[in-house]
Amino acid sequence: MSFDPHREDYQRLGLRFARSLDGQDPASATRAFAGFNRRFSQNRDSLPQSDADRAFHLVAEATTLIDYELPFATDEQAEELIDKGHLLLDEAIALDPHCHDAIRMKIAAESPSFESYYDFLARTADDVRAQCEEARANARDESPERASLEADIAMRPYYRWLATQAGKAVICGRNREAIRIGETLLELDPQDAADVRFTCAIAYAKLEDEAGLDRFAARTKPLVRAGTDDAWMQLSRISLAHKRHDMAEARRLLTRLVDTYPHASTALTSQKELPDGVFARLAVAPFSEDELILAISEGTVLLQEGRDDAGRGVLGTWIVRQTGLAPQGGTPR
Amino acid sequence: MNLHEELMERLARRRSNKLGGLSPAAYAELLLSVRENPQDYVDDASDQAFFLLVQAAERVFASRRDDEFRDDEQFMQERSRRMERLRRDCAEALATAPESAHARLFSVLAADNEPDDQLDALLELDRALAAERGPLTAPESGDAWHDVFLRGRMRVTAAISRTCLDSARYRMSNEHGQALLAASPSDPLGARHTCALCLARLEDEEGFEALDARFGRRGDSWQQLGRVLLFYKLGRMPAARRALAGFDQLCEGGGYALLRPIMVDTYLPDRPSAEPYSFEEVTLAVHEADPIICDVPDLCTWASGQGDFAEHARAFAERNGFGW
């Protein structure tokens, strides 16, 4: 699911526009709304919006540059993209000093270490929560549907905050913290828009807490997509089997992962480590090759553990050895 | 562990068992005469194999003494040469006594494989030994270590526990370590050290404290380092800072050992002995904890920023003529 900032930008303006039509007769309201899409894409400034809406739009643009274009840029382009992205974020914060997404993204770039970024997120999380909850409380809309969407949008910056904090906790080696933060988020948002359960699965594997992961999986079962475990859960299960030296089971689970995702052998052999999305985990299609690549990248903490001459980590090396036996390149399944 | 002295004990014990019912004084007498002419008392194939292994290990230790004067390339060459020699020695010991637990263990260690492969081999060896001799449990004396003929199997378990740690299997490492503690509560092989690191890695505060309490909170470099790791990982930073200050104060050159880790070669078969809190000990602790420290990527940066930690480390390096 993840967060698509452009969709959220659209939702924000759509909500405000819809509200501006309240009181009009249904026919003219329908007519006016028909023009919304065109105005959104071509003449945004003609739509009613607050400074916070404008700031969020800049965040969406910065996200495109930093999360989606930067990884594919040449070194020269990279600097320009970063500069542009940061100008957008600065502008967003100038427009809306409570633009938590922009603040979080700025600090991500400015923090000298995972530790200091995590520290910042942890220190300020309660304030962010209070401000988001205040925004949610102010959300009053005549239509219950719109009210609920508005309330949800008001909380999303905090959801992203917690999801980022949980991800960084794992990287910092704080797996119990990661699970605690994930649980807070799941309680607030049982639908788990942030997919923080993926991060929790990895943290349970790091703690080698198989019973804990079983309970967690049972509780989050309604969120399982298409009746199939996601790559994060599957990697965690592979890691746990490997860690308890049940190699036959680890092999069986690895085969299942290869069967779940297209071109899985390639992704599992190259084990790319990508920069995390600074806005949120990159939005990719469920069960796509890209999703597996993301999961493997986040699963680096599982793959690259232990003493290993090749520098891939013990599990990473084992996986390469196993997938080396499968036909190279893999076939989409 | 002094392998040479253990050989003497084996030979004396074997002879005493054969003679039957020696008084303590007679046994002491026998031990003296074994020490004088050990070769005269080797009449069992597994003792002969042990004899060969002691010599092989001593050759390795002697060759290691000059490692610090070798550059990287010389070191790698010398290491590969001596491991090759060790493998030949192990093969000879194994040919002498194929059933010897020590010969089989040394052969696995000498193969110098990656942790995953080494663990496979050790577990296979452990299963074979259990099938041949039954489970390893504490004897009536209360401690398996008191039976010199059980030590090979205990060492296999200790090696499994350490190799599990090296291959990122912390729960399994702790379980094997705890099994060894159950069989040998006096823990001369230091299984508790491996357990302490694993429990810290697993963020298991309760288990960590229980282990510390079990050994009367005597403390050592592993405990101190484990405590730093544990509290840092739990995000309890004031406690982590206190633990780091303790590590810095108690472990001689602890900061240097943590910030400038020193390579430690294969244990053959035991962890080298070191005085509590000595620089040698903290060097071993940091080396063993390396996979766990790497998993907390900002730990060393954080530690360097705490009070005089980095300054103490640098001063230690200067005092001892180490590079910084």
Cα of A188 vs its chain's centroid, Å: 16
pLDDT band at residue A2 using 50, 70 and 90 as cut-offs:
confident
Please answer yes or no on whether B114 and A308 come within 8 Å at the CB atom.
yes
Q: Over pLDDT 70: what percentage of chain A? A: 97
Chain B residues in contact with A115 by the CB 8 A cut-off are: 298, 301-302
B37 or A33, which is more confident: B37
Helix (H) or strand (E) holding B164: helix B151-166
pLDDT of residue A332: 34
Q: Is residue B156 part of a domain?
A: no
Q: Is residue A150 part of a domain?
A: no
Contact call for A175 and B233, based on CB within 8 A: yes
Does the structure show a pLDDT above 50 at B146? yes
Q: State yes or no: pLDDT of A325 exceeds 80.
A: no
Q: Which of A122, A171, A306 is facing B166, going by the closest CB pair?
A: A306
Nearest to residue A226, comparing CAs of A196, A260, A194, A252?
A260
* Interface contact A279, partner B, CB < 8 A: no
Q: How far apart are CA A212 and CA A208, in angstroms?
A: 9
Q: What is the rounded distance in angstroms from the CA atom of residue B150 to the CA atom of residue B137?
A: 10
A125 touches chain B (CB under 8 A): no
The answer to whether A168 faces chain B, any CB pair under 8 Å, is no
- Is residue A40 within 8 Å of residue A162, measured between CB atoms? no
* Pick among B120, B174, B295 to test the A interface (most A CBs inside 10 A): B295
Q: Tell me whether residues B297 and A172 touch, CB distance under 8 A.
A: yes
Cα angle value B39/B45/B47 (rounded, 5°): 55
**Which residues of chain A have a CB within 8 Å of the CB of B297?**
114, 171-173
Three-state DSSP at B297 gives coil
Confidence tier at A110 by pLDDT (50, 70, 90): very high
B86-114 pLDDT, tens digit per residue, is 999 999 999 999 999 999 999 999 999 99
Asked if the C-beta of B21 comes within 8 angstroms of chain A's C-beta atoms, the answer is no
Query: For chain B, what is the domain count?
Result: 1
| Residue B303 domain boundaries | 200-324
Token code pair at residue B75: 């070191």
Give Cα separations from B152 to A204, B114, B146, B190, B195 (angstroms): 36, 22, 12, 15, 20
Given this model, what pLDDT does residue A331 score? 39
Q: Taking a C-beta distance cutoff of 8 angstroms, is the pair A53, A12 a contact? A: yes
* Total domain count, chain A: 1
Residue B267 lies in a domain: yes
Could B114 and A309 be called an inter-chain contact, meaning their C-beta atoms sit closer than 8 Å? yes
Task: Label residue B321 left, alpha or beta by phi (over 0 means left) and psi (-120 to 50 means alpha).
Answer: left
pLDDT for the residue A1: 56
What ipTM was reported for this prediction? 0.95
Domain membership of residue A176 (yes or no) is no
Residue A91 counted as domain residue: no
Residue A235's domain comprises 224-333
CB within 8 Å: A306 and B291: yes
pLDDT digits (tens, 9 = 90+) for B219-261: 999 999 999 999 999 999 999 999 999 999 999 999 999 999 9
Rounded-to-integer distance, Cα B52 and Cα B67, Å: 23
Model confidence pLDDT, tens digit, residues A188-215: 999 999 999 999 999 999 999 999 999 9
Give the pLDDT confidence of B55-93 residue by residue, as tens digits: 999 999 999 999 988 999 999 999 999 999 999 999 999
Give which of A164, A165, A246, A240 is closest to A202, Cα–Cα. Answer: A240
The token pair at A42 is 């071509």
pLDDT in tens, B177-223: 999 999 999 999 999 999 999 999 999 999 999 999 999 999 999 99
pTM of structure: 0.95
Tell which A residues from 228 to 257 touch B, by Cβ distance under 8 Å. 242-245
Judge whether A287 lies within some domain: yes
Give a yes or no: residue A289 inside a domain. Answer: yes
B322 belongs to a structural domain: yes
CA atoms A262, A268, A272, A276: torsion sign: positive
